[in-house]
Structure 1
Amino acid sequence: MTQPVPLAEIWRGPFLESLHLGHAVICDDTGQIVHAWGDPQALIYPRSSCKMVQALPLMTSGAADAFGLTDEQLALACASHNGAAIHTRRVQAWLDDLGLGDDDLRCGPQEPADIEERNRLIRAEQSPCQYHNNCSGKHSGFLTLAKHLGAGPDYIDIDHPVQKAVREAFEEVTAEDSPGYGIDGCSAPNFATTLHGLARAMAWFSSAHDRSDTASRVAARLVRAMMTHPELVAGKGRACTVLMRAAAGQAAVKTGAEAVFVGILPERRMGIALKIADGGTRGAECAIASLLVALGILDANDPAVRKWMNAPILNRRGIETGSIRPAGTLPRKL
């Protein structure tokens, strides 16, 4: 097995202080590897990076059209959002339209990452609810599909029709039989795949607009929804949102827990998947920004990009003490 390689470096003054090792794969529209670092066959949980895959059955089943879902709702179905008002209000309205509510979700309550909403809850002496969960959009999509199928309420069960449909879609686009699953932070099954499989899936999404079959047409719509509404996919100050805005329609990117990151590049018809071995999100954010720069999608000098690539590290007095940089194993240009 190929070992993980350096992907991001932390410098303090003139010395290398820390190092994030990992794996990364870039696939073309045939699913073939065009660039790789580390082990393309590393087995991983995609975690939330594959939410666009988990949303496919919502689309291919006809449920999205039957319930008149908007592109904003589709972006939320692919989101790991901050729990800000722009997210929770839309989730509430979505479930209201289904005749459902917070108690029907199975993702669990979560303190919002959005500071304004967190402070509002504190002032009102209210507890976070399931609407605030970063996965509530994905779960609203699951509930929509369950209602469309006439299936039972426990849509996160591995033998539920929703999760059977998700697994089928996952194995189809990764072109691999998943060896198993784990339970994600939101209680839904998360199917394992290789890094190559995940990159292959992202390349499939990236070239979906070239094909006319149903799955490809709806996949292209999901990608457009993410790129059109990046603020719903993550939120203020988040890498997914900021980098998609900087890419200006050239890329959809999505993070996952434990330092997974994917990229969908429709104009280049390429897919990216990467995983930092130690689970350090800062390393994954630096690596995805660096690869997008190397591919010509982002400008290394864009202030938005500099938040994660060659980003200054400040101490509590605002003094620059170091930086986070792409490792020398990552090229400047691809």
Structure 2
Amino acid sequence: MNSVPLVEETRAGLIENIHSGMICGVNEKLETVYHVGNQEHYTYYRSAAKPIQALPVFLLNVITKYGLTREEAALFTASHRGETCHIAALESMLKKLPVNEDELFCPYSYPLNVEPREEMLRRNKEKRKLYHNCSGKHMGFITVCRELGYPIEGYWEVDHPLQQQILNILSRLSEVPISEIKIGKDGCGVPVFAIPLKKMAMTYLKLACPDLIKDPLLQKTVTQMISIMNEHPIMVASEQFICSLLLQDQNIVAKGGAQGVYCFGLKKERLGFSLKVLNGSEEVWPIIVAAILEQIGYKNKDTINSLRALKPYIIKNDAGAEVGTVYERFLLIGAHDEPASNQEI
């Protein structure tokens, strides 16, 4: 597997947790220029695929046809947390789009964020499909089906024409043949795709630098979608979450997924990165991404400082006392360097 310790947590001087994984960074020539561990490790996108899964709805220009705001359209790419702004926008979209809530295949749920979830429980409100963090994506799926005459039933199955369209787009962006893309089932019930980590980094490079996409219509569509994500980062996740924080930096395209996978692209630097934390931790993402940006000399220190604030080096207990530390263990290496600084496990 060829993984490397990425983050180490200590308590009273003893190592308590080690978060191991892999990182890959590619340049505009689609060459690996930074890596830690095995860049060919097959990794499921999970929700990091959402911008790619949203492309069919953006290709149809439903934003204009159905009078969506750009803020609402950002939810097609989102793992929303069920805050008031998310629910209000989703309710508005239900009124505008040719979608019924009971058609959504995602499960009934409460919001992911604690405050809106507890507020709904206090008010004895029932779970809704709309509250599921993938509901915006599913609304986009059904809208595409209605626009293109695809059946609504089974839109979540891998052999459905919508999922085949998404698979084709992913293959084009990642340059992985469809026959080599591994397919599973995601948490919300739709297909989830796995490709080598390097190819995953390539897709986010192309999202950040659409001029690298050969298809003019797809290039234009990606440009529009990414501009919406950068304009409305809070809709993609929530306050104090890494995706929204990174998207506030207009130079960055970013999206994470469950089980420790994270991807981002840098527009000016023309770099794409992907990483996988093998124990599935999402809490260490800010430390890893901050360290990557520091090690490549990223100029926007405010973004790095915000990431560091999101996950400080000091671990505190429930009473606020300092009890341990958390810090990165890895050094990015070039594609042809010897990994002398990294202990492989």
Q: Considering the TM-score relative to the shorter chain, is it more than 0.5?
A: yes
| Counterpart among 199, 219, 224 of residue 222 in structure 2 | 219
Match of 1:272 in 2: 273
C-alpha deviation, 1:144, in angstroms: 1.5
Match of 2:341 in 1: none
Q: Distance in 2 between matches of 1:26 and 1:78?
A: 23
Label 1:14 to 1:231 Cα distance change in 2 as closer, same or farther (>3 A).
Answer: same
TM-score relative to the length of structure 2:
0.88
Match of 1:165 in 2: 165
1:204-258 Cα deviation digits (max 9, x unpaired)? 111115768111111122221111111001012212112333xx21212211000
Contact map agreement 1:163 1:189 (CA 8 A) in 2: yes
Q: Percent of aligned positions with the same letter in both sequences?
A: 27
C-alpha deviation, 1:101, in angstroms: 2.6
| Counterpart among 194, 197, 211 of residue 196 in structure 2 | 194
1:264-317 Cα deviation digits (max 9, x unpaired)? 211111111100111111233321232123331542896522234553211011
Contact map agreement 1:179 1:193 (CA 8 A) in 2: yes
* Between 19-28 and 173-182, the greater mean CA deviation after superposition: 173-182
Partner-residue secondary structure (3-state), 2:6: strand
- 1:243-322 equivalent positions in 2, closer than 5 A: 243-245=246-248, 248-295=249-296, 296=298, 298-299=300-301, 303-308=305-310, 310-322=312-324
Contact map agreement 2:74 2:228 (CA 8 A) in 1: yes
1:86-110 Cα deviation digits (max 9, x unpaired)? 1122112112212433202111122
1:48-83 Cα deviation digits (max 9, x unpaired)? 012111111222244444434432233211111101
- 1:6-85 equivalent positions in 2, closer than 5 A: 6-85=5-84
Q: Distance in 2 between matches of 1:141 and 1:317?
A: 44
Q: Distance in 1 between matches of 2:172 and 2:5?
A: 31
* Between 49-58 and 9-18, the greater mean CA deviation after superposition: 9-18
Contact map agreement 1:299 1:305 (CA 8 A) in 2: no
Q: Distance in 2 between matches of 1:209 and 1:69?
A: 26
Label 1:267 to 1:70 Cα distance change in 2 as closer, same or farther (>3 A).
Answer: farther
Is it true that 1:208 corresponds to 2:210 in the alignment?
A: yes
Partner-residue secondary structure (3-state), 1:258: coil
Partner-residue secondary structure (3-state), 2:327: strand
Contact map agreement 2:294 2:304 (CA 8 A) in 1: no
Match of 1:143 in 2: 142
Q: Distance in 1 between matches of 2:190 and 2:98?
A: 22
Q: Distance in 2 between matches of 1:74 and 1:27?
A: 29
Specify every segment of 5 or more residues in structure 1 that has no aligned partner in the other structure, as ranges.
none
Contact map agreement 1:300 1:306 (CA 8 A) in 2: no
Contact map agreement 2:19 2:279 (CA 8 A) in 1: yes
Partner-residue secondary structure (3-state), 2:234: helix
Q: Distance in 1 between matches of 2:285 and 2:203?
A: 19
TM-score relative to the length of structure 1:
0.91
Is it true that 1:236 corresponds to 2:235 in the alignment?
A: no
Specify every segment of 5 or more residues in structure 2 that has no aligned partner in the other structure, as ranges.
334-345
Partner-residue secondary structure (3-state), 2:116: helix
C-alpha deviation, 1:119, in angstroms: 2.5
How many pairs are equivalent?
328
1:155-179 Cα deviation digits (max 9, x unpaired)? 2121222111110011111110243
Contact map agreement 2:23 2:39 (CA 8 A) in 1: yes
Label 1:301 to 1:50 Cα distance change in 2 as closer, same or farther (>3 A).
Answer: closer
1:138-157 Cα deviation digits (max 9, x unpaired)? 11111111111121113212
